[in-house]
Amino acid sequence: DAKTTQPPSMDCAEGRAANLPCNHSTISGNEYVYWYRQIHSQGPQYIIHGLKNNETNEMASLIITEDRKSSTLILPHATLRDTAVYYCIVRVARPTTDSWGKLQFGAGTQVVVTP
């Protein structure tokens, strides 16, 4: 699976949009971009994933550049409960016996939402 690069930390004001960048310049054509977050002392929580097109769900939006070398997770109206470590992960779409589509987590971005 391709590696990702994220800023180690960022602050965001409550009620504002939080834009979290991720670089994945070595991504392959069959790899998805996944985002998870981990609130302190809890297990990671799935947020959203995409392949080529932008995606939106009730939690966030995912914007993937046309060359797929980077993406941005957007939390439209950040709340204090969005304070967490956010992980950007790329994952092969069709697992083989040598690559069972496992998630490899990096260090992520520590997002702190302030009042």
User: For residue 9, is it left (φ>0), alpha (ψ between -120 and 50) or beta?
Assistant: beta
- Residue 17, φ and ψ in degrees, nearest 5: -80, 140
**Distant-in-sequence, close-in-space partners of 26: CB < 8 Å, separation ≥ 6:** 2, 3
The interface with other proteins within residues 65-94 (CB under 8 A) comprises 91-94
Q: Does 45 bind other proteins (CB under 8 A)?
A: yes
Task: Out of 29, 41, 58, 115, point to the residue binding other proteins (CB under 8 A).
Answer: 41
Binding-residue pattern over the window 49 to 68 for other proteins, x denoting contact by CB under 8 A: x-------------------
Least CB distance to other proteins at residue 115 (A): 27
Distance (Å, rounded) from C-alpha 87 to C-alpha 14? Answer: 20
Q: Does 110 bind other proteins (CB under 8 A)?
A: no
Distance (Å, rounded) from C-alpha 61 to C-alpha 2? Answer: 22
Task: Decide whether 98 or 115 has the Cβ nearer to other proteins.
Answer: 98
Token representation of residue 10: 């960022």
- Point out which residues bind other proteins (CB under 8 A): 32, 34, 36, 41-46, 49, 91-95, 97, 100-108
